[in-house]
Amino acid sequence: MRAGRAACPVRPSYATVETSRRTTGDGIMCRNIKTLHNFEPPATGDEIHASALQFVRKLSGATRPSRANEAAFNTAVDEVTAAANRLVHSLHTSAPPRNREVEMQKAKERSLKRFA
């Protein structure tokens, strides 16, 4: 942990991007980027875009860019979305697809065991 930054209170989960967002006391937002490959049903375009947005926010250190940086920020989100979309749809595996609900339940159980 860096000096001056609070520890992220968010626990890993398979929750949607909007429900996984939390803010620490000092206003710094913590986010978890979830796995999108090999799920049934497959990841949607919205999920891929949300993960790209999370990634760009993390890299830039800003949840909302300034007006001066807005165009560069939005371009980066679009480019990361396109790359992530190509990646997720080009990956192949012999493993059976995972079920989102089952994985979410496993994550909750791990969290309860870890933070009980």
For residue 21, name the pLDDT band (cuts at 50, 70, 90): very low
Tens of pLDDT along 57-97?
A: 999 999 999 999 999 999 999 999 999 999 999 999 999 99
Residue whose tokens read 């371009």: 75
User: What is the percent of the chain with per-residue pLDDT over 90, rounded to a whole number?
Assistant: 53
Helices (H) and strands (E) in the chain, counts: 3, 4
CA 114, chain centre distance (Å): 21
pLDDT of residue 32: 65
The domains of the chain are located at 18-111
Q: Kindly state the average pLDDT of the residues 94-103.
A: 90
